[in-house]
Amino acid sequence: MIPATDLHLLHSSPGFSAVRFFPCHRSRTPLRGRFFTVRSSLPFPNEKAKYHKELEAAMEVVERACRLCVDVQRSLFSDEGRILEKNDQTPVTVADFGVQALVSLELSKLFPSIPLVVEEDSGFLRSNNLVDPVVSAVSDKTSFDEESLSRADVLEAIDRGGKDAFAFGTKPATYWILDPIDGTRGFVKGSQALYVVGLSLVVEGEIVLGAMGCPNWVVDTSYRSTADVQGYKNSSPGLGIIMVAHVGCGTWTKRLKDMLDSSTKMSSDWTRCFVDGCCLVPEARFCISDSQTWESLPLSILYEARIDADDDIRDKEIRLFPTCCGSLCKYLMVASGRASVFILQARSQKVIKAWDHAVGVICVHEAGGKVTDWTGSELDLAADQVERRNIYPAGGVLVTNSNIHDQILEMISSNSTVV
């Protein structure tokens, strides 16, 4: 376990400012932590990474969270009660809340003064009688003794990062951003669709590290068809990856299967990720939002989209990957070099959430890519001054390999009435 007293971060971030709003209901019996050592060494020397302890912890808890997701998903289709609908009709499962509780529990133990920004709160969980299944899902994945982990502990952990839990104010702040499951619609489809557990750390307005786990990612460098790339065809369960990034240290991936399978000897093989080298927009491979069509985007005036990647692309056409659920897997596609561009148009009726982008931003940046809004400005994570939950990119979000970023911005500007 990483001693909280050793954390330089708490002493090196004078700009940190947060006020707790929710009451802390402590369990009568204090939680007893299991002693554990972070198993996964980083792919770069610790002395090169200012926040190496924080990244080690993030990587460890994302691995545990992915294991929780895999276990819940295995039982999902035999227990329909595990799939429910929130008011916004987004599927929510035991895994969403389980991951949020797990990550909150572990981070609050190691970094008790750093707040967590995340989507859910326990109200939905309580009203739908899902507390016990979540406690069960979390209990054997935490470093706490199972006997000492109570319902109250899990509910408090969930609410630690929920709406109205903290007020940050206008000063720069230090906080974690978590997306428990980005691509929940993919999660409930089973092993043939991608979903991502994403965790990042923001220090004084800068994203300094991130870890993304994708249990269904197909580790195959051939990926001739886009269907194979997305994991919708010929994918094997458990072949996923974890991607980590640290400011100034690059973006790296490692097989998640080796981490999840306790019978497999841990491998130290990390692969450094780089964005692709595409320099011409017509040769780029595009990803778009699940809820948008190519025809709704400004570039559709210039190019038609072809989803069949095996065919030659003709003049005035571009390659468009099939839809995969959530935003973070699209960042993962660009950071790993499998896609060249992810473009998202902002819509007035839909708020863009920080957790759908934060960890993806640093992974793409450290892989050599670029992320801006449609005017070329960096995403402002502090625009939501009180809660740090929402971002307001002008026009939308553009994620590229850097080479073609300015070209696409110019095309957007010339053909859009939004920017």
Residue stretches of the annotated binding site: 119, 179, 181-182, 356
The CA distance from 314 to 204, in Å, is 47
Please answer whether residues 259 and 63 qualify as being in contact, where contact means their C-beta atoms are separated by less than 8 angstroms.
yes
If we measure between CA atoms, which residue out of 334, 350, 277, 341 comes closest to residue 303?
341
If we measure between CA atoms, which residue out of 160, 22, 180, 164 comes closest to residue 97?
180
Question: Which residue has 């960096």 as its token pair?
Answer: 378
The CA distance from 176 to 333, in Å, is 23
Helix (H), strand (E) at residue 360? helix 358-366
Please answer whether residues 150 and 194 qualify as being in contact, where contact means their C-beta atoms are separated by less than 8 angstroms.
no
Helices H, strands E: what count in the chain?
A: 12, 19
184 annotated active-site: yes
Helix (H), strand (E) at residue 410? helix 405-415
The partner residues of 241 in beta bridges, in order of sequence, read 214, 255
Q: Which two tokens stand for residue 38?
A: 């972070």
Largest CA distance in the chain: 69
The residues, any chain, with a CB within 8 Å of residue 190's CB and separated by 6 or more, are 73, 76, 77
Among candidate residues 96, 121, 153, 159, the one labeled active-site is 96
Locate the DSSP E strands across 142-204: 166-167, 174-182, 196-203
For CA atoms 100, 118, 274, 223, the dihedral sign is: positive
The CA distance from 143 to 141, in Å, is 7
Helix, strand, coil percentages (3-state) for the chain, rounded to 5, are 35, 20, 45
Among candidate residues 93, 184, 372, 400, the one labeled active-site is 184
145 annotated active-site: no
- Give the DSSP per-residue string, 38-105: --PPPSS-GGG-TTHHHHHHHHHHHHHHHHHHHHHHHHHTT-GGGEEE-TT--EEEHHHHHHHHHHHH
Listing from the earlier edge strand, what are the strands of the sheet with 206-214? 116-117, 174-182, 196-203, 206-214, 241-246, 250-255, 271-273
Please report, for residues 5, 36, 104, 141, 344, the alpha-carbon distance to residue 145 in angstroms, rounded to integers and kept in the order given.
22, 12, 16, 10, 43
Binding residues for Mg(2+): 119, 179, 181-182, 356
Q: Residues with catalytic annotation?
A: 96, 184
